[in-house]
A and B are shown apart, each in its own frame.
Chain A
Amino acid sequence: MSADLTEKLWDQNPDALIAISPQGSVLYWNPAATTIFGYSRSEAMGQALLELVVPIDRIDDELRSQAEALRLGVTVYEGVRRRKDGSLVHVSVSTKAVCSHDAKLEYFLFNKKDVTHLKVLRDAKLVEARFRDLLESTPDAIVMVNVTGRIVLVNSQSEKMFGHSRSELLGQPVEVLLPNRFRNAHLAHRGGYFQQPRTRTMGAGLELYGLRKGGTEFPVEISLSPITTEEGTMVMSAIRDITDRKRLEQTLRDKNLELENAALAKDRFFASMSHELRTPLNSIIGFTGTLLMKLPGPLTEDQDKQLRIVQTGARHLLSLINDMLDLARLGAGKLDLNLETVDCNSVVEEVVSSLRPAAEKKNLHLEMRLPEPPATLHTDRRALSQIIINLAGNAIKFTEHGSVCLQLEQTRSAGRKTVTFRIEDTGPGIALAEQARLFEPFSRVDAADRRALEGTGLGLHLSRKLAEQLAGTITFHSEYGKGSTFTLELSEE
């Protein structure tokens, strides 16, 4: 046979023929090698074969087989090799160490047959027998992939989900089920997975998509488990179409945004309403005040009396506006609490000093009993102060003789600190029939009582709501004709 013909036969050989130097660089690379591995002859020549086609985790195997060939002359084995595009092929390799007559290694000669498809068929047969029935019974689409990333098993849920038939998928790289833009990254990750296989969720935190036969995409969630078999490690992917969940999540997000916007609009509405109501009241209360101060000139007794009625009415309106806005914001969960360490003694002291003029006007004893050292709480000072003012203000308003006493106590039990504010009066007390409705809005006790009409009718209602915000309770004890005691209890760990 002529050298030409020999060369031609080598070129026509259906298997890859590759020769490498003792140092490992490619000396010969036939066209079938290009077909199988993707590198052209000129790309491959002179390159280190190990770096070109051997996956990192297979390098030891390859070196062992070369050493064996050196010892025995020829070895045969099957293994995974990497193509130029990163995909894996399964090859059956015969290696021969070609030595000179003085037993010096001249080159290694490899015959590499691409058995990827045979391997798929073998693996498919194995896993079909072992897992098929089991996998048909799960609700998820299951795709099993062998060590070269080829699909070896799909259940019928997968066929439905992806629109491909079983025979179309068998032997295909699993990347056919992914949109194009994910394929390269997936190839790289797949190699990593086989090096450290463990059960886990794929692409945790990433948005993953599947690709249907028709080209449409759908969001998926995938969990991976390695399956060890006598044909090597395979990977089982359980795939779930999460289109519905995504849609639900989006709806929830939209809804949340809508609610946030509504809450914001409500906030703005409260702020504008407060502003708009106060502006005209400024003129009413202001000019009533200047008239009563007699700045423009003297007033007759009737004028003075009537102007005081206007003033009282306007101030009442202002309190109503303030209470209603507070209630509205409470209802909308928009009362921002400013939690800080509050000296409760000083809160009571402030309330007492602001209410003292009113008590003195009625000749009432206004007392306070405070603990030493002062009671402290982690709470909202303004809300706390407002509750105490409301309770103590009521006590003064309804009591004609005797005293109003504010008592503060701090106790500890089982690691909980409890601070109790007790407001005790010697007023008329509350009739049993009225007690049940006491905290309802506008439930004035005995509406015929002029004193009751001085208030907004929201004070106790608001106080209880505020107490709830502070995780506290307001209770009362009253005996008709003997006075009432209101108790605010706040506690903390």
Chain B
Amino acid sequence: MIQTPVWPPASVGALQDALARERYVAERPLAVSIYLAAKLRRPLFLEGEAGVGKTEVAKVIAAALGTPLIRLQCYEGLDVSQAVYEWNYSRQLLEIRLLETTADLDRAAASRELFTEAFLIKRPLLRAIEQTGTYPPVLLIDEIDRADEEFEGYLLEFLSDFQVTIPELGTIRAIEPPIVVITSNRTREVHDALKRRCVYSWIPYPDFDKELRIVSSKVPGVSDRLARQVAAFVQELRTVDLYKAAGISETLDWAAALVALDHGTLDADAIGDTLGLLLKNQEDIDSVRGERIQTLLARAFAHAGS
């Protein structure tokens, strides 16, 4: 490793450079938010449409620091047994049967032997407060809007003191709090109490220049011309009234597909063949197909050429 990573970063600029080394293009406002989250030791709350690179932020911070990324994917009904810890019940049951066969089984012994770390299954939140390296791990709480309010309530408690109490074992406290990144697609409004504790950042769809930089740096083998055309076409496509606009991840998949199919330049046929990588909705694909593609393409070329 050439550069020694430092957390919190020395300045916003240094952070931007570190992210750029991980090939993540962060605009100044986002970099400022990440920097502040690091300095204030607060969770970073990222909101934005699906596919604008929210999850990626956590990944590149972890990569830049060489620290593990611990990911908690949220879903409805997510509870302590899936998010924090769970006892390995089947092994405990087997153990009980074994203990039952030995004569000297008493209640105290059973409790002592059944509830030890050997039977504990650690889930993401518990793992996140057990630091092993120089830097604390990055804890990614992904798509918090999918979890229900009960879990949000628990999270609020967890994020304020970074400790977990297991009745049978005691309280486990973080030596240094993990670097927390929370993402939301905003399918519902997350409770203000939670957001207030965080540094908030809304990640918009990128503009042409940013998208071009992302495509150029992330898609291997893409020519400058194709990258410009791809970025310009996606920009135009986002102005069309669709159920689901294409995110950056779609742009990247699409550009990679065009490279794989040896398309050196965009044309209506190439787009028609690969539209499924950009739009994931049959109605949207139907509404764009045909003459619409030509119009969008003409506008994109006008933009890419300038």
> Is chain B found bound to chain A in the same assembly?
no
- Residues of chain B at the chain A interface (Cβ within 8 Å): none
